[in-house]
Amino acid sequence: MEKYAGKSILKRIAIGKMLFYSKGEQIVQRKSVTDVDAEIERYEKAKETAIDQLHGLYEKALKEVGETGAAIFDVHSMMLEDDDLNDSIRNMIESQKVNAEYAVAASGDNFSKMFAEMDDEYMQARAADVKDVAERVVRILYGRHDASNLGDEPVILIAKDLAPSETVQMDKSKLLAFVTELGSANSHTAILARTMNIPALIGVPVGEEMDGRIGIVDGNTGTLIVDPDEDVLKRYEAKREEEERQRELLQTLKNKEDVTLDGKHIRLYANIGSVGDTAKVLSNDAAGIGLFRSEFLYLEKNDYPTEEEQFQAYKTVAETMAGRKVIIRTLDIGADKQVDYFNLDREDNPAMGYRAIRICLDRRDIFRTQLRAIYRASAFGNIAIMYPMIISVKEVQEAKAMAEQVRAELRAQGIPYGDVEQGIMIETPASVIISDLLAEEVDFFSIGTNDLTQYTLAIDRQNAKLDAIYDSHHPAVLRMIQMVIDNGHKGGCWVGICGELGADQTLTETFLRMGIDELSVTPASVLPIRKIIRETDLGRSK
C-alpha cells in the first residue's frame, strides 16, 4: 500500500481502478516541401477543422458546465485566429520550406515559451493554452484523433496534466476522479472538476506504473492511496457509502422551508458566476441568488460587453429564477481579477488598489452601461443591485445617484424597469465601523467574508505561506459580523453573508444566533445548510 499527498479540489471519496492517461506526445518531424502554397492550404484547412472542433466543445461545455467552464474554448478559437501566430506559421512554411506540422509545432513552442516567461500570471497561464491549440492542429494534420476513450468501466484518471479540452471530451459517466501531478487549484481543469462535481487531486506524483491498480482518492485529506489493503479498502467503502447516504437524505429537504425549529425564516440563496450556473441553483432548491458575480461577463470577453449582451444575460437569469430574488453585484474587476482591455496600471498591492466600485465611479461610462442593463432586466424578474468594496457614505450616494440617472433615462425612453433594491457589500473594516451610517442609505448589507477576513487580519489570502495563520474564525472577524448585523437591523436593513464563511457549517448556528437574515453559498452547499437551519432552535440556550 502506498500513500501520496496532494491538494484536494473537491472533498469527496472515490474508489476504483486507476487509468494512466498519456497524451502520447507527438514527435513532429521536420520535412522539406516544394509546393509551399499547397502546404499553407493544408494548414488553413486544419486550422478551420480545429476551430469547428472547438466550437463544438464550447457548445458541449456550455450545456454541461456553464459559460465559465466553456469560455476557455472561445479563448482557444481566438488563439487560432491570432494574426501573430498565423503569420509565424505561414512565414516558417514559406521561408524555410518546411511541412505544416513542423511549422505549427515550432511556432506553438515559441509562443508558449514567450508566454511562460512573462511576469503576468494570467499570461503565463496562456502558455499551456497555446500548446494545447498547436497540438490539436498537429493531430488534425497527421489525421489523428483525440485519445479520450476511457474504456468500459468507470476509472480514476491519473495524468501528468490535463488540458481543458481533454477533460470536457471525456465521458463523465466513466470518470470517478481526476489525479494530476501538475496544475493548480485555479487552473481551468480544476475549475471544470469542481463544476462537474468530480473529485480531484493535484500535485500528486503519478506514473504509468499506477495504471490498472486500485486507488482511493480521499478528497477530505488530499490523499491518494494506491493498492489499499483489505482493512483500508473496507473502511473507505463504508465512508463512501455514508457520503452517498447523506446526499440522498439531503434530497428529501428539497421544497422544504428554510426555517428554524422556533420559527425564524432564513433566506438561503446561492452564489453564481455565470448564466449557466442558474441550473445548479434550481437543482439544489435555493430560494434565490445572493451573489451574481457579473465580472465574469467581462473576464470571458476580449472587449467590454455591450449593454445588450449584459441585458440578455441578466434577463435570462431573472426569467429562469421566476420571481426568486437575483442579487447582481456590479463590476468587481481589479485585484486578482485582471482584464487586459481595461488597461489597468500594474499595482504593488492590487487588493487595496484600483478596483470594484472605485473603477465604476471613475469610469462612469462602463458603470452606466451595466446599470442600464440591470434595470432593463429588472422588468423580467426580481432583481437587486449590490455595490462592492464600499468604504464611505459618499461612494454609496454617488452610486445611487448614477442609478437614479439611469432610471430617469429609461423613463424618458419609455423602457420599463422593476422595483430594484439597492445594497452594498460589507468587506472592509471601514464599512463595518460606519455600518450604522451606511444602513441609512441602502436596503440591505451582504457581508463578503473573504475580503473582510483578509483586510481585518492584514493577511493576503492568495499567499500560501500564510495559510496557517489565516483564520476566518478569528474573534475580530466574528465581532465585526455581529456589529454589521446589529447596525443593519437598527437602520432597517436586512443582512446576509455571501462570502465563503457563509457555507461553513461549523458556524451556521452561530450566524443564526447572531441574527443573520440571509446566507448565500455555493449551490452544492444549500441543502446541507438547510438541514442545519431546520435543526436549530434559537429559543433554546446553546
Residues with a catalytic annotation lie at 188, 498
SS3 8: strand
**Pairing outcome for strands 2-5 and 325-329:** unpaired
Q: Locate 421 and state its grid cell.
A: 433594491
**238: Cβ–Cβ under 8 A, 6 or more apart, which residues?**
none
The rounded distance, in Å, linking the Cα atoms of 501 and 106 is 47
The residues facing 316 across adjacent strands are none
Residues in the chain: 542
Report the run of H or E that residue 424 belongs to, with start and end: strand 421-426
Half-sphere exposure of 509 (CA within 13 A, CB side): 13
What are φ and ψ of residue 155, in 5° steps?
-135, 160
H helices of 172-229, in order, are 188-195
**338: Cβ–Cβ under 8 A, 6 or more apart, which residues?**
120, 122, 344, 350
Do 198 and 10 form a contact (C-beta atoms < 8 A)? yes
H helices of 322-469, in order, are 357-362, 364-377, 393-412, 429-433, 435-438, 449-457
Do 206 and 159 form a contact (C-beta atoms < 8 A)? yes
Give per-residue burial for 496-507: e unless 16+ CB within 10 Å, then b.
Answer: bbbbbbbbbeeb
Per the listing, cell 455600518 goes with 435
Do 312 and 378 form a contact (C-beta atoms < 8 A)? no
Which amino acid belongs to residue 106? A
SS3 359: helix
Radius of gyration (Cα) for the chain, nearest Å? 25
Report the run of H or E that residue 180 belongs to, with start and end: strand 175-180
Do 418 and 381 form a contact (C-beta atoms < 8 A)? yes
The rounded distance, in Å, linking the Cα atoms of 321 and 319 is 5
**171: Cβ–Cβ under 8 A, 6 or more apart, which residues?**
148, 150
SS3 138: helix
By C-alpha distance, which of 536, 524, 461 is closest to 280? 524
Q: Locate 524 and state its grid cell.
A: 452544492
